[in-house]
Homo-oligomer: A and B are copies of this chain.
Amino acid sequence: MENKRYYGIDIGGTTAKVGLLENGRVVRTWSVQTDTSDGGRNILPDIIASLPGPADGAALAVPGAVLPDGTVNRCVNLGWGVCRPSDEFTAKTGIPCRVLNDANAAALGEQRLGGGKGYESVLFVALGTGVGAGVVLNGKLREGARGTAGELGHLIWDPSDADAKCSCGHQGCLEQYCSATGIVRLADRAGFPGLTCKQVMDRAAAGDAALEAVADKACGILGWGIACACAVLDPEAVVLGGGVALAGEYLRLKVQNAFDAYAFHACLGTRIHLATLGSDAGLTGAAMYAMDGV
């Protein structure tokens, strides 16, 4: 395994981030613009053109649902419908290729080399525009029977909250309170329209009491959701990533405190960490997933 090379490719709506893994380390990373025109048909050829030579395996992390057989079930941000991009990748490169969800890739990256390093089972929560998540159990990704394991964002906190309608069709989903979008909405309802999530968190951390109440509500519901997930999964640790988690220790401590308040007693030792790989988490995890599969 030591002399093998793997590509980890994290395809986002704006850029694809690519990493080359050698000797278990990401030795080089680069980006390729994502061309979403024409149903996204240029995305893979553009990425492939950037690859510096052959490899023993590759994995594509995509922003959409991936079924257990590797079929991608729509990536709205890429213009892709139901498709099998790993087949196209292998046909064009000769490199064996796997495909996984991008939040799952970030989970695996953070578990192996990031905020969850040293733990065998980790719940990773990505706090971005939405709330994604991934689950690593016994060192391997748990993707689920339908590819939806770890969907923390759609735990229903308050089914009666008509003010928190979710794109999934339900109301009161965790994502409606704890994502960047959700936090902006809570701030808006609290009388602070037009702020970004970063502004909300920065001002809350700087001592604005009304915005701190917004941060407390978001972190409280996230702590509740993590407590629910831990009661069911019982991972060793939890890692918070995504743009909202850039609020750092201020956020982490609030979430840890809320978790400790809601958690089943046997789960109380579970520690919540911050992610450390930033935007390289996805490509790192994808490369690890490629390595695991070969």
A residues touching B (Cβ–Cβ < 8 Å)?
65, 121, 133, 135, 137, 142-152, 154-156, 159, 168-170, 224, 227-229, 231-236, 262, 264-267, 269-270
Taking A148-B266, A265-B169 as contacts, is the C-beta distance between A156 and B227 under 8 angstroms? yes
How many angstroms from the CA of A232 to the CA of B151 in the assembled complex? 5
Contact A147 B234 (CB under 8 A): yes
Contact A144 B262 (CB under 8 A): no
- Going nearest first, the 4 A-B pairs with the smallest beta carbon separation are A144-B234, A151-B231, A149-B234, A154-B264
A202 CB to closest chain B CB (Å) equals 29
Contact B264 A231 (CB under 8 A): no
How many angstroms from the CA of A249 to the CA of B188 in the assembled complex? 46
In the complex, besides A155-B232, A156-B228, 10 extra interface pairs with C-beta distance below 8 angstroms are: A121-B144, A146-B266, A146-B267, A149-B232, A150-B232, A151-B266, A154-B264, A156-B262, A159-B224, A232-B232
Taking A156-B224, A232-B229 as contacts, is the C-beta distance between A264 and B148 under 8 angstroms? yes
Nearest B residue (CB) for A230: B148
Copies in the complex: 2
Can you report 8 residue pairs joining A to B where beta carbons are below 8 Å apart? A137-B142, A144-B235, A145-B234, A146-B270, A150-B234, A152-B231, A155-B228, A170-B262
Contact B135 A137 (CB under 8 A): no
How many angstroms from the CA of A58 to the CA of B221 in the assembled complex? 43
Nearest B residue (CB) for A138: B142
A82 CB to closest chain B CB (Å) equals 14
Nearest B residue (CB) for A119: B145
**Chain B residues whose C-beta falls within 8 Å of the C-beta of A155 in the assembled complex:** 228, 231-232
**Chain B residues whose C-beta falls within 8 Å of the C-beta of A154 in the assembled complex:** 231, 264
Contact B266 A65 (CB under 8 A): yes
How many angstroms from the CA of A145 to the CA of B230 in the assembled complex? 10
How many angstroms from the CA of A156 to the CA of B145 in the assembled complex? 25
How many angstroms from the CA of A156 to the CA of B262 in the assembled complex? 8
How many angstroms from the CA of A232 to the CA of B235 in the assembled complex? 12
A142 CB to closest chain B CB (Å) equals 7
How many angstroms from the CA of A270 to the CA of B148 in the assembled complex? 12
Contact B262 A135 (CB under 8 A): no
Nearest B residue (CB) for A73: B266
How many angstroms from the CA of A152 to the CA of B230 in the assembled complex? 10
Contact B236 A152 (CB under 8 A): no
A262's partner among B65, B152, B159, B235 (CB-CB below 8 A) is: B159
**Chain B residues whose C-beta falls within 8 Å of the C-beta of A262 in the assembled complex:** 156, 159, 170
How many angstroms from the CA of A88 to the CA of B70 in the assembled complex? 48
**Chain B residues whose C-beta falls within 8 Å of the C-beta of A149 in the assembled complex:** 232-234
Contact B65 A145 (CB under 8 A): no
Contact B232 A265 (CB under 8 A): no
